[in-house]
Chains A and B, each alone.
Chain A
Amino acid sequence: MDKKRILVVEDEFVTGLEIQARLSDAGYDVPVVVDNGDEAIAKTAEIHPDVVMMDIVLKGEMNGIEAARRIREQFGIPVIYLTAHSDSATIDQAVTTEPFGYLIKPLDERALITAIRMALYKHAMDQALAGSERRYRAIAELAEDAILICSRDRIVTFINTAGGRFFHVNPDEIAGKSIPGLIPGKLSDHLCTLIDSVFSSKNSSRETLAGMLDDSMVWFDTTVIPVDSEDGTVIEVICHLNNVTRMVLLEQEIEKKGIIQIEQNMEQFQILNDKIRNPLSIIISLASLEEKEENRLIIEQAKKIDDMVAQLDKGWIRSDSIRAFLLKHYGHGKELS
């Protein structure tokens, strides 16, 4: 493995050399010691150190805290402070730059090495975590469905671009927004109920949510899954909302048309049936008034027509069964008298 490279920024020449010597002995690569902020930034850009050891008091106008802030912002490299100043105001100021360590001079060698190893380790972990988070965000961005992460108090901590499009919000500006502040009316009520149930049951849950969005009815197939901490409590939930509105509308249209068509057919059957049977009855009755060969033939032929009409009865009964099925499952259509 390559030697880890360390940049030492120290205004006292002798102390700087001493630190360089100790770190070199411990197996680190310490190519240079600088004594002012501008040079510290320039060298960081040039040699890409793994860690910067930063004295708070420097030569020149820039102090170590300002130099550390710029290095962190520009290069994301961990900084360990070393200083003789230990007053709380200085420490408070240093803390705002998120340092990876804070060492008080005179330096103890063991503390120095431990601080560097911890900074290296912590930085590597942060990098891995940031990489992992970037990966998951990329996956969330791939989805055409809305994905959002939500805390127990219904504050949204993440929403993907597709979700932002649905609910008209910039994903970068969701900080502090709650579900009711993001999603309108009934849709929000249903989602909150679902989220609360997942927090209390600790199990994922799936439901189709329906409500108004942008003045029209929408349906979302929604899955909410819990994110557990190690002790098993749910710390947040991930909500996946799949917009199925077009599918639902299409299904409704098909069902409605299907039932209306069946009902029309049934009415036709019924009318046809009665309208045919009455004239047939008249023909048959007339023909049966007198027993003649011709009348027997008329009755025979009329009965053939009646047999066909009986087939319509079957069609009517079967249509009624299909209609009953559709009404039971979808509840559309009008009731026949």
Chain B
Amino acid sequence: MKILIIDDNEVLSGLYEKIIAGEGYEISVENKSDNALERIRAEKPDIVLLDIMMEPLSGWEVLEQVRDDPDLHDTLVIILTGKMMTIEEAVTYGMQIDGFVLKPLEKSMLVTAIQDAITILSASEERYRRAAEAGMSADDAALCQRMYRKRCMLEYLKDFIGKQERMLQIRPGVETEYNDIILELKRLIERNADEFDRIEKICP
């Protein structure tokens, strides 16, 4: 299992590297965000742990590069950052990431986060295998695999909306400036949920 950390804080990424290596995973670190894409291309990691607040490219920009690359777009990306996700960011990037973890993390939490990512990864691969065995085409099987991964993210986003509404003290039926963007995120989730339900029916 290959893991790549992209974080501009050298001390912290060094520590994470030590912890993760201690658990027996193959781990490498990239501190320069403008090198990130090349590094991912070279190492083909199974999991990328991506920081957001970086210069010159932000983590979101790195994510866009990865998703736009036909060879890398399926890479499992977990955001590991010190800044909460905004609702706008959730609308734009929510369905493009595979997890969002807020720093700081103690060793056990970091390890859990990685184990969770591995679980998602292997369960989705299992989905692919089952679909392929049932005689589905490679494309359809990949669809089943992706659907499983994104469904986990959907659950995270549903939970995220609830937290945001509590934080902004949004009450049902009361007009606020955030209603539009929250509604947009809710629609995004519904649209994807419907799509996934449809795919689920054809996947074994």
**Complex-state Cα separation, A299 to B105, whole angstroms:** 10
- Partner of B12 from the list A270, A281, A289 (CB cut-off 8 Å) is A281
- A317, B86: Cβ atoms closer than 8 Å: yes
Knowing A274-B53, A317-B168, A321-B176 touch, does A281 contact B103 (C-beta < 8 A)? Answer: yes
Most chain-B Cβ atoms within 10 A of its Cβ — which of A274, A287, A313, A325?
A: A274
Knowing A274-B53, A281-B12, A324-B177 touch, does A317 contact B105 (C-beta < 8 A)? Answer: no
B178 lies within 8 A of chain A by Cβ: yes
Most chain-A Cβ atoms within 10 A of its Cβ — which of B11, B105, B107, B176?
A: B107
Residues of B within 8 A of A318 (CB): 167-168
Residues of A within 8 A of B164 (CB): 317
In whole Å, how far is B59's beta carbon from the nearest beta carbon of chain A?
Answer: 11
A316 lies within 8 A of chain B by Cβ: yes
B110 lies within 8 A of chain A by Cβ: yes
B204 lies within 8 A of chain A by Cβ: no
Residues of B within 8 A of A283 (CB): 104
- B177, A325: Cβ atoms closer than 8 Å: yes
- B105, A284: Cβ atoms closer than 8 Å: yes
Chain A residues 309 to 337 lying within 8 A of chain B, measured CB to CB, are: 313-314, 316-318, 320-321, 324-325, 328
Interface residues on A, range: 20 to 34
B106 lies within 8 A of chain A by Cβ: yes
Residues of B within 8 A of A285 (CB): 12, 15-16, 19, 104-107, 110
Knowing A274-B82, A282-B11, A317-B84 touch, does A324 contact B104 (C-beta < 8 A)? Answer: no
**Complex-state Cα separation, A286 to B164, whole angstroms:** 31
Residues of B within 8 A of A325 (CB): 177
- B103, A286: Cβ atoms closer than 8 Å: no
B9 lies within 8 A of chain A by Cβ: yes
**Complex-state Cα separation, A277 to B51, whole angstroms:** 12
A273 lies within 8 A of chain B by Cβ: yes
**Complex-state Cα separation, A317 to B9, whole angstroms:** 25
**Complex-state Cα separation, A278 to B12, whole angstroms:** 7
- A281, B105: Cβ atoms closer than 8 Å: yes
Flag B48-88 by CB within 8 Å of A: 1 or 0 each.
00000100000000000000000000000000011110100
In whole Å, how far is B51's beta carbon from the nearest beta carbon of chain A?
Answer: 9
A306 lies within 8 A of chain B by Cβ: yes
**Complex-state Cα separation, A281 to B110, whole angstroms:** 11
- B103, A288: Cβ atoms closer than 8 Å: no
**Complex-state Cα separation, A49 to B145, whole angstroms:** 112
In whole Å, how far is A54's beta carbon from the nearest beta carbon of chain B?
Answer: 78
A302 lies within 8 A of chain B by Cβ: yes
In whole Å, how far is B87's beta carbon from the nearest beta carbon of chain A?
Answer: 8
A260 lies within 8 A of chain B by Cβ: no
**Complex-state Cα separation, A80 to B114, whole angstroms:** 113
- A289, B19: Cβ atoms closer than 8 Å: yes
A115 lies within 8 A of chain B by Cβ: no
**In the complex, what residue of chain A is closest to B52 when comparing beta carbons?**
A274
- Partner of B106 from the list A299, A314, A317 (CB cut-off 8 Å) is A299
**Complex-state Cα separation, A318 to B19, whole angstroms:** 36
A32 lies within 8 A of chain B by Cβ: no
- A321, B107: Cβ atoms closer than 8 Å: no
**Complex-state Cα separation, A288 to B176, whole angstroms:** 42
Q: A284-B106, A317-B86 provided; 15 other pairs, C-beta below 8 A?
A: A270-B83, A273-B82, A277-B104, A281-B104, A282-B11, A285-B106, A287-B106, A288-B107, A289-B15, A316-B84, A317-B167, A318-B168, A321-B177, A321-B178, A324-B178
Using a CB–CB cutoff of 8 Å, the interface residues on chain B facing chain A are: 9, 11-12, 15-16, 18-19, 53, 81-84, 86, 103-108, 110, 164, 167-168, 176-178
Going nearest first, the 7 A-B pairs with the smallest beta carbon separation are A277-B82, A281-B104, A288-B107, A288-B106, A281-B103, A325-B177, A285-B15
Using a CB–CB cutoff of 8 Å, the interface residues on chain A facing chain B are: 270, 273-274, 276-278, 280-289, 299, 302-303, 306, 313-314, 316-318, 320-321, 324-325, 328
The 20 listed contacts between A and B (C-beta, < 8 Å) are A270-B53, A277-B103, A277-B104, A278-B82, A278-B103, A281-B105, A282-B15, A284-B104, A284-B105, A284-B106, A285-B16, A285-B107, A288-B107, A289-B15, A306-B104, A313-B83, A313-B167, A318-B168, A321-B168, A324-B178
